[in-house]
């Protein structure tokens, strides 16, 4: 059941683990390769050291595998958990593919596409990941990469439809000059309902509850309540990579200072009232992180990654009849707070700085202007295969969204200049 695919394989399949097939299809996908040209946090081309979406995805896959192995040891006498834990090929498949749907220019590009699509079922990067794996990927004409059911289940990070979570009243359209209100709701697309229903088919008794949402209050989108067990592991791997590896980039490139770190991280971790487990090591880690020596800094990063991996626990929620939904991997509250402190430090001192935000804003404006130009001139500006789909689907703007979401930072920039910069562009520029 879990290794079943929407489209059956060839008549004489190879004797091969089905999840290894998933992993191979993802790695050999053009969508995966394009991650090397997409922004993670910092803009491409500034340095050859820091992470792109591709290197981030590789690290998430490795951390996810490490989490699964650590849990096998920690719960070696629990038959249910041992049976549930994903294999290395499965968890790595999910880690490799988890960002495959994210557009150029990081989360700024995601917001820009949601602005352009907010009247047409919106845009959200994780929903686009599922769309690539089930519809757009090149392995199958009709079913994308045609991954196994369990791999697809693990990639559904937010199992609620756009129509169930969106709060359109918060959007404030002022001609695209400020897009802060257009952050997308966490969701899957309504237009992909057929594939989602196939993925969730085994959960007849649990499906409606699994797709339920909670209201975060006025002025916010609603949010899905649940995720599968595999997805909980993958999401923790993503959080660790974001909190620790992006921290490494920030320190190595000199974007944060030791005094900032001490004021915003060490001071909080050393809070005697909270009794954070890392408090005993935080001064030693600080010395290593800001030593100026790559090897010493890497040891500190490795220690932190290993610390968070080995702090993960598995708990039964008593919410669902199926264990694959009911069990969750998670941090204890106190360890989760420690990782939140690291993530907030990177967010406040790197991601939210004017230097990074200026680049993100520029990327947003390029995406919006490209979308508007193509929407107004689809027959002239869409590549042939996309224009054919556009006509077949009677002017469906999701086709334009799919096209732009699949571009790299460089491709989108070159396309923008080819269309809008008079001195740029040639008939020999192949796009």
pLDDT score, position 272: 77
Output the pLDDT for position 12.
46
pLDDT digits (tens, 9 = 90+) for 387-413: 999 999 999 999 999 999 999 999 999
Instruction: Provide DSSP, 347-414.
Output: IIIIITSHHHHHHHHHHHHHHHHHHHHHHH-HHHHS-HHHHHHHHHTTS-THHHHHHHHT--HHHHHH
Report yes or no on 193 lying in a domain.
no
Q: CA-CA-CA-CA torsion for 346, 352, 356, 359, nearest 10 degrees?
A: 140
> In angstroms, what CA-CA distances link 26 with 100, 122, 256?
9, 25, 35
286 domain residue, yes or no: yes
Tell me if the pTM is above 0.75. Answer: yes
Q: Tell me the backbone φ, ψ of residue 38, rounded to 5 degrees.
A: -120, 140
Does any domain span residue 297? yes
- Asked whether residue 109 is domain-assigned, the answer is no
pLDDT at 51: 64
Position 298 in a domain: yes
pLDDT at residue 48 in the model: 42
Domain of residue 312, residue span? 230-354
Backbone angles phi, psi at 224, to 5 degrees: -60, 145
Residue 156 lies in a domain: no
For residue 13 the two structure tokens come to: 């399949």
Q: Supply the pLDDT for residue 45.
A: 46
Paired with 223 in beta bridges are 214
Domains contained in the chain, number: 1
416: in domain: no
Spans of the chain, pLDDT less than 70: 8-15, 40-51, 425-431
Integer angstrom CA distances of residue 13 from 10, 24, 96, 150? 6, 15, 24, 19
Res 225: pLDDT: 96
Is there a domain that residue 313 lies in? yes
Q: What pLDDT is attached to residue 426?
A: 65
Q: State how far the Cα of 207 lies from the Cα of 379, in Å rounded to an integer.
A: 41
In contact, 411 and 145? CB cutoff 8 Å: no
């Amino acid at each position: 059941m879990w290794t079943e695919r929407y489209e059956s394989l060839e008549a004489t399949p190879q004797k091969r683990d089905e999840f290894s097939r998933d992993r191979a299809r993802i790695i050999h996908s053009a969508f995966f390769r394009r991650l090397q040209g997409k922004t993670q946090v910092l803009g491409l081309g500034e340095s050859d050291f820091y992470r792109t979406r591709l290197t981030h995805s590789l690290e998430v896959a490795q951390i996810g595998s490490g989490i699964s192995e650590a849990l096998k040891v920690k719960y070696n006498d629990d038959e249910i958990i041992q049976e549930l834990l994903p294999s290395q090929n499965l968890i790595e498949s999910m880690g490799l593919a988890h960002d495959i749907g994210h557009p150029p220019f990081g989360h700024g590009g995601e917001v820009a596409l949601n602005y352009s699509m907010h009247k047409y079922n919106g845009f959200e990067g994780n929903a686009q990941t599922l769309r690539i794996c089930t519809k757009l990927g090149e392995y199958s004409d009709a079913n994308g990469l045609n991954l196994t059911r369990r791999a697809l289940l693990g990639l559904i990070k937010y199992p609620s439809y756009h129509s169930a979570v969106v709060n359109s009243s918060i959007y404030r359209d002022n001609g695209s000059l400020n897009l802060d209100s257009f952050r997308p709701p966490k969701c899957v697309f309504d237009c992909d309902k057929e594939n989602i229903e196939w993925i969730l088919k085994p959960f007849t008794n649990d499906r409606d509850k699994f797709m339920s949402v909670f209201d975060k209050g006025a002025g916010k989108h609603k949010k899905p309540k649940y995720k599968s067990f595999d997805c909980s592991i993958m999401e923790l791997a993503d959080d660790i990579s974001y909190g620790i590896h992006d921290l490494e980039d920030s320190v190595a490139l000199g974007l944060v200072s030791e005094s900032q770190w001490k004021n915003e991280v060490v001071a909080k971790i050393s809070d005697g009232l909270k009794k954070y487990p890392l408090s005993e090591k935080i001064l030693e880690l600080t010395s290593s992180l800001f030593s100026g020596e790559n090897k010493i800094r890497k040891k500190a990063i490795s220690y932190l990654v290993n610390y968070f991996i080995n702090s993960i626990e598995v708990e039964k929620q008593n919410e669902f009849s199926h264990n694959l939904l009911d069990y969750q991997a998670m941090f204890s509250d106190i360890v989760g707070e420690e990782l939140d402190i690291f993530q907030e430090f990177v967010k406040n001192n790197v991601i939210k700085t004017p230097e990074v935000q200026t680049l993100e804003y520029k990327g947003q404006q390029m995406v919006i202007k490209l979308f508007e130009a193509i929407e107004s001139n689809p027959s002239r500006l869409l590549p042939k295969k996309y224009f054919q789909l556009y006509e077949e689907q009677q002017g469906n703007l999701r086709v334009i969204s799919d096209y732009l979401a699949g571009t790299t930072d460089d491709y989108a920039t070159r396309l923008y200049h080819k269309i809008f910069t008079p001195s740029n562009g040639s008939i020999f520029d192949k796009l």
